[in-house]
Every structure is written in structure tokens, then in C-alpha cells.
Amino acid sequence: MPEERRVRLFRNGRSQAVRIPREWELEADEALLRREDGVLTLVPVPRAGLLPWLATLEPLDVPFPDVGDDDLLPLDEPVV
């Protein structure tokens, strides 16, 4: 059986808002609100990771320089 809890509704400017109990807090910054037959459903939108953002970037036109083994520093040597 689904969990149920009575919550408070309040006004926030011209919008109605609901207080979500701390133990039911959504792990998201945004959510989708659906209304069907008078029932509201709140679905969290997952936070976007780095890869989707990187996919929106245009490729660089600058060629990457060749790097040989002589250009690399040993891992145990401090960078000066």
C-alpha cells in the first residue's frame, strides 16, 4: 500500500505551494508536475551530468599539439 501523509498547502506569490516532508525530499532541483483526472503527480527530473552538457559544445578548430614521452613528467616528480 502506498505511503500517505497529510501536508500543508500555502500561497507563494500568485502560486500555490506544498510543503514536502524532509524524509520525502526530492533528490533534484526540478520536477515535472502532471495532472490527470484531478490527481497531481510530482516526478523529480534527474540532475544533468557533465556528459550531456559537453555534448552541446561545438568542436574546437585548434589542432591538439603532438605530445611525446619526452614531454611527460614522472608521476613522483613535483611540478615547478
CB 20 within 8 A of CB 8: no
For 3-51, what is each residue's pLDDT tens digit? 889 999 999 999 999 999 999 999 888 999 999 999 999 999 988 788 8
Q: What is the pLDDT of residues 45-62, one digit of tens each?
A: 988 788 888 889 998 898
* pTM more than 0.75: no
Least confident of 34-38, 66-70, 72-76: 72-76
Which of 29, 28, 21 has the alpha carbon at shortest distance from 3? 21
Q: How far is CA 45 from CA 5, 20, 48, 51, in A?
A: 22, 16, 9, 16
Confidence of residue 79 (pLDDT cuts 50, 70, 90): low
**Residue 30, pLDDT score:** 92
CA distances from 36 to 28, 42, 47 (A): 23, 12, 25
